[in-house]
Structure 1
Amino acid sequence: MKLPLSVLDLSPVGENVAPSQAIRDSIALAKVADELGYARYWFAEHHNMASIATSAPEVLIAYAAAVTKRINLGAGGIMIPNHAPLHVIEMFRTLAALAPGRIDLGLGRAPGTDPITSAALRREQVEVNSLLAELLAFERGGFPTNHPFAKIEPMPSDVPAGTLWMLGSTLAGASIAAQLGIPYAFAGHFAMKHAHEAIAHYKSNYEPSPKHPEPYAILAVTAVCADSDDEAQRMAAPLRLAIVKNRTGRRAPIVSIEEALAYQMTPEEQAIADEFFEGAIIGSPKATADKLEALAKDASADELMLSSLLPDLAARERSLRHIAGAMA
């Protein structure tokens, strides 16, 4: 592929796709992406969401690494507020030891869930930037000599915790990524209207680092591709309704195409769906390819990461195959 393309997977749960099946489907799709030449395959972290099953991305990464050959596997991302920094580094060093050169550690500053579930995940609430600083100190050996953690050596000690990425949907994440001199991934699949500004800010303020002398930005985008524009819009109908339900507190498995098409949205619900889909790319192979290339150019993105919250594995696979073929 001329433009590097990757996949962001949330293991979508449907009325006829149980959460456990959604997990298995994600592994199957990772194998397809590997065969098609996609650059990387990331698993999200969300909790207590009936339509999303990716609650343990590190486990999915380990399994996917064992059944794929060359594609990078990663977390998009590990939500820093939910985890002990030392444990994150040790998990990803272990993954990097098992799949050398293929592991990405994407770091998110949001919890990826509601406040009550966040409290259940981590009883002691610590300021997220303090957790990030601690995580980086464990990875880079950055504790002062008199710090109580200075003599802790995360194991395995002879490998890095994969490639560090900062995730974000605002200028805050872009600023942190630029300051740290690490790659940046922007969540355009739900916040596209801020993408151009955030990526421009990241690149213009980038501070080169030994591992990453140049900035590198991924832009995530909702993308659904089918044989025709009409069929792609039809396939995306359940996703539109799922977004509305999630944003209005009615979380549930994603409904069928027929049920989604029959649902009559209120003006308020339509506005929610339209805002989310503002940057979505939905269409035939050629139309999708043209729009993806234009998006990457306009946003100065070095790579695009495709997200499609479709529970139907066959539909998601066809979409990836269509796009790979059109972008070859």
Structure 2
Amino acid sequence: MTPEISVLDLVPVRAGQTSAQAVASSLALVELADRLGVRRYWFAEHHNMPSVASTSPPVLAAAAAMRTERVRLGSGGVMLPNHSPLIVAEQFAALEALAPGRIDLGIGRAPGSDPVITQLLRRSGTTSDVDRFPEHVNDILALASPTGATVRFVSGEEYRVLATPAAGGLPEVWLLGSSDYSAQLAAAQGLPYVFANHFAGEGLERALQLYRSQFRPSEIAAEPRTFITANVIASPTAEEAEERMLPYARMMARLRGNRPMAPLETVEQAAAAETEDHFAAPLIDALRRRWFVGAGAEVRERLAAFAAQHGVDEVMVSLVAGAYDAEPVDAAPGRVQTLEQLFS
């Protein structure tokens, strides 16, 4: 298949669904992804959102590793200012031991939540200093390596620190972002890079141009490595795809309109609310123009053209198809259907 398909999963939670049911839906989806030949499957990190159960990428990746055989698994991404670099290095070194050669560590700089939750997450002293983000990325690379890192005290004494006692391999580290800053940092450090196109409104072309033009080869990557992300809904008919788009689009409109958040509506709930509440219409129209929504063949063609336009061989899809009232709460038929349509 050209381009290759990867998946970004936020583990969406819909009305009437428990976190356990949402997680079960995603784990069934990752099993399908493994069978279909998806290149990689990443879990996002978001906090205190009623519609998102993906709070801990390493936990979800570990569960996914036990259910898969070939797909690469990881984070899209770990929001580094929320965590100690040593803890991140240890978690992903453990994942690498669990699924050797299949682990990706995507690292981001954003908090992944609101200011109150950010303060709760960052009660960890200087490790939460956003200005030290480049330093902490380097710390993770060193700590997760087989040789580890060395702490040097004022006295001159050295202390060796290893994320795991006998690493046999490294997770593949990717830098994620939605700004010029992240593109330039990835280029300067010679790291693979992904622009969060599924979330950001503008800036994809500029970010890729900056990354490619400023890239400095490193031991990790000899040349620029990147792919693109996109929100995707593919159904047997364009009409069904449009219906399944509305719940997630309304959630995004509420987020960007700074309105109270709630679990994802069902298709029927979203359609009924839209007839009474038109606040979201302009935002939804803007989102719709950037998303890939339609019948399977049309979406496949558009994704191929999108990848060719930006010179990449991989597209990471965020499967944003909503659910109908009658569909089971422990499954995600719309998301399953989208993935199957992309590989049909």
Query: Normalised by the shorter chain, which TM-score bucket?
Result: over 0.9
Partner of 1:211: 220
Alignment equivalent of 1:189, drawn from 171, 174, 198: 198
User: For 1:244-323, what aligned pairs fall within 5 Å after superposition?
Assistant: 244-247=253-256, 248-262=258-272, 263-264=274-275, 269-310=280-321, 312=323, 313-323=332-342
CA contact (8 A) 1:216 1:302 kept: no
- Label 1:192 to 1:323 Cα distance change in 2 as closer, same or farther (>3 A): farther
Sequence identity percentage: 36
Q: Tell me if the contact between 1:47 and 1:117 (Cα under 8 Å) persists in the aligned partners.
A: yes
Structure 1, unpaired ranges of 5+: none
Letter of the 1:213 counterpart: A
Q: CA RMSD in A?
A: 2.0
Number of corresponding residues: 325
Rounded to whole Å, the distance in 2 between the matches of 1:138 and 1:253 is 34
Give how far 1:307 is off: 0.4
User: Kindly tell me: are residues 285 and 155 of structure 1, through their superposed partners in 2, closer, same or farther at Cα, counting changes over 3 Å?
Assistant: same
1:324 aligned onto 2:343: yes
**CA–CA distance in 2 between the matches of 1:203 and 1:195?**
12
Letter in 2 for 1:314: P
Q: Which amino acid aligns with 2:192?
A: P
Q: How does 1:153-232 map to 2 (within 5 A)?
A: 153-232=162-241
Structure 1 position 120, deviation (Å) = 1.1
Q: CA deviation at 1:131?
A: 4.2
Q: Distance in 2 between matches of 1:143 and 1:218?
A: 34
Cα distance between partner residues in 1 of 2:252 and 2:168: 40
Q: Please report how far the alpha carbon of residue 259 of structure 1 lies from its aligned counterpart in structure 2 after TM superposition.
A: 1.7
Deviation string for 1:34-74 (max 9, x for gaps)? 00011000000000000000011101100101110100001
Give, in whole Å, the separation in 1 of the partners of 2:313 and 2:184.
18
Query: 1:132 Cα deviation (Å)?
Result: 4.0
Conservation of the 8 A alpha-carbon contact between 2:232 and 2:321? no
TM-score, structure 1 as length reference: 0.93
Q: Is the 8 A contact 1:10 1:309 kept in 2?
A: no
Counterpart position of 1:133: 135
C-alpha spacing 1:249/1:150, structure 2 compared with 1 (3 Å) = farther
- Taking a change above 3 Å as real, the CA distance of residues 98 and 149 of structure 1, as seen in their structure-2 partners, is farther
AA partner of residue 66 (structure 1):
M
Contact persistence 1:188–1:279 (CA under 8 A) = no
TM-fit CA distance, 1:170: 1.1
SS across alignment from 1:53? coil
